[in-house]
Amino acid sequence: MTTFAPLDAFPLAPPAQRWRQELERLYGAQGPEVAAQLEQALRAWRERLPEPAPGRRVLTQRDALLITYGDQFRDAPRPPLAVLADALDRWVRPGFSWVHLLPFFPYSSDDGFAVIDYGQVNPAWGTWDHIHRLQALGFDLMFDLVLNHVSSQHPWFQAFLRGEPEHQDTFLHLPPDTDLSDVVRPRPWPLLTRFETAQGPRWVWTTFSADQIDLNYRAPHVLLAMVNVMLDYVAHGASMLRLDAVAFTWKEVGTSCIHLPQAHALVRLFRAVLDDVAPHVLLLTETNVPHEENVRYFGDGYNEAQLVYQFPLPPLVLHTLLTRDSRALTEWARSVAPPTPATTFLNFLASHDGIGVRPVEGLLRADEVERLVEHTLAQGGEVSYRALPDGSRAVYELNITYWDALNPAYEGEPLERQVARFLAAHAILFALQGMPAVYVHSLFGSRGDREAVERTGQPRAINRARFALRALARELAQPRGRRRQVYDGMMALLQARARTDAFHPQQPQHVLAVNPGVFALWRGEPGAPGSVLALHEIAGTARTVRVPWPARPGPLVDVRTGRALGMAEGPTLTIPLRPYEVLWLRVPARAFTSPPRE
């Protein structure tokens, strides 16, 4: 059941006042004229969009998100989106309330992130009716707003190449000898790409690839067009929008061109527009950068994104399991807290991209990152790089499925131990404060697709394989097989989380340093009735841990299994743990933190 907070619950100025202010910040004297155009557009959208929800959406412990491609499950000749609906209904609905549907539009490269037409569903996959069916199944939907760039085949860019006046400022082109050495690069290839146009050669800004042409938000018509794209997605059922590559959206020659004040102004404007016409819709920023830069997209805690990715988590959890030492993860987790009740983190371990290493700058030493790189290569993975201003390159991400990253490539280790290790990693994900997201290949314990890398030359292809529906069903029918054990374990964890109030995103989190071989935390006030002590053995070794116990004696119950662990004895609780064991111990109502009245 969806929960809402009153519209006036947070300290915000009226939405129209806010988006008008942002337009003036972005466009100066042009701001009022652009505001009049936006107001006209919003009047039309208010008539088209459904009646606004009764308030702002509140995420709860029952919310979890699956990340998947629209053509992830295939069963020819049926449209992939129809097959996806059946797969979600059959395997996903018991544990997930949200689906992040990766770009499902006509595209030319990057598995959907080079969009040819923002307003159409890829005809090879299905229609908008298929998208609407996912919502009818009871899922909330997240769409990607790919707002930094379009495909080189997009009609806007084709018009630019033809020299049509209305699109000459839609894209940024510069002399080829422009000094762009200060620009932060996520890729190792040239920033400017030469194109032949009706007006001669033009060197166009292409942050991510020669097929992904950056939009120029200095031109107000570009912003207005993308607001219309965003609201069209809302009209088609999006309840959350992922602002792809938003950190790179505003360019100023002579600067880093990342996280510029205008990029934050764009986020605030999108937020204000949604608060105006669709206040139930959430924003998530995709900013794969160090933590302190990432959390700035919360703004003041109320006026930018409601969610940001917890990007340090994937490499930190991998480091923790590989080194069998939780101290780096513990130290980092102790420092993390969302700034206001209006925000939270999207926690994840894997996605359609690789495991980014920039987010652990300052959290792991250079030699520790290098060990992750060496391990990835030894496990059959790939490594992607980015260009530095001095012309050198640095590691950007590790391309490998999370199963392969955690489990040894050699034969001999029992499958049950590998599954336990994998589930322990995900139990950490599910226990942390925030909303959990699971990549579809992690839900089913997938191995990497080396053949796809060799066929495409793209390192990210290693964890983007598609499933043949019937073959996957046969594998899941094998009760002792890898996929079935992983799937059952993940669903059990998610369902336990959903029925435990202490895992609500706004419940407090207190991380404990009890043993390097254990990651431990309280959810809820430590020892209070209903609070949960979450213990995760991460070293693969049986051990006993001692935890300071703030409550009077009382029985403890593992919320995953319902198993009672007997009486807790203060002031220290002694708990034996098996290798990779997970215990989520709930304090019942009759355990109390102060003596009862006589």
Secondary structure (DSSP) of 199-265: TEEEEEE-SSBTTEEEB-TTSHHHHHHHHHHHHHHHHTTEEEEEEETGGGS---TTS--SS-HHHHH
Q: What is the mean pLDDT of the chain?
A: 94
Residue 236 lies in a domain: no
Please name the residue ranges forming H helices in 291-414.
291-294, 313-323, 327-334, 366-378, 402-406
Residue 170 lies in a domain: no
Q: How confident is the model at residue 29 (pLDDT cuts 50, 70, 90)?
A: very high
Min mean pLDDT across 39-53, 87-101, 105-119, 547-561 is at 547-561
Looking at the chain, the whole-number percentage of residues with pLDDT higher than 70 is 95
- Tokens for 538, please give them: 């991460």
Can you give the CATH number for the domain in which 393 is found? Answer: 3.20.20.80
Same domain, 445 and 550: no
Out of 502, 525, 548, pick the residue that ends a domain: 502
Same domain, 100 and 143: yes
Same domain, 379 and 453: yes
- Looking at residue 221, what is its pLDDT? 99
Q: Which residue has the tokens 């997930």?
A: 96
Q: How confident is the model at residue 275 (pLDDT cuts 50, 70, 90)?
A: very high
Query: Kind and range of the H or E element at 150?
Result: strand 149-151
- The model's pTM is 0.95
State the burial class of residue 471 (Cβ atoms within 10 Å of its Cβ: 0-12, 13-18, 19+).
Answer: exposed
Same domain, 369 and 387: yes
Query: Does residue 5 register a pLDDT over 80?
Result: no
Per residue in 161-194, pLDDT tens? 999 999 999 999 999 999 999 999 988 889 999 9
The residue range of the domain holding 577 is 505-586
- Tokens for 582, please give them: 């997970």
- Looking at residue 585, what is its pLDDT? 95
- Looking at residue 594, what is its pLDDT? 41
Tell me the catalytic residues: 244
Residue 23 lies in a domain: no
| Positive/negative CA dihedral, 240, 256, 337, 277 | negative
- Looking at residue 568, what is its pLDDT? 62
Min mean pLDDT across 82-91, 330-339, 550-559, 580-589 is at 550-559
DSSP state of 107: B
Residues 6+ apart with CB under 8 A from 578: 537, 542
Same domain, 538 and 467: no
Tell me how far the alpha carbon of residue 164 is from its chain's centroid: 38
Out of 456, 471, 502, pick the residue that ends a domain: 502
Q: State how far the Cα of 231 lies from the Cα of 500, in Å rounded to an integer.
A: 35
Query: Does residue 2 register a pLDDT over 70?
Result: no
Please name the residue ranges forming H helices in 122-209.
128-136, 155-162
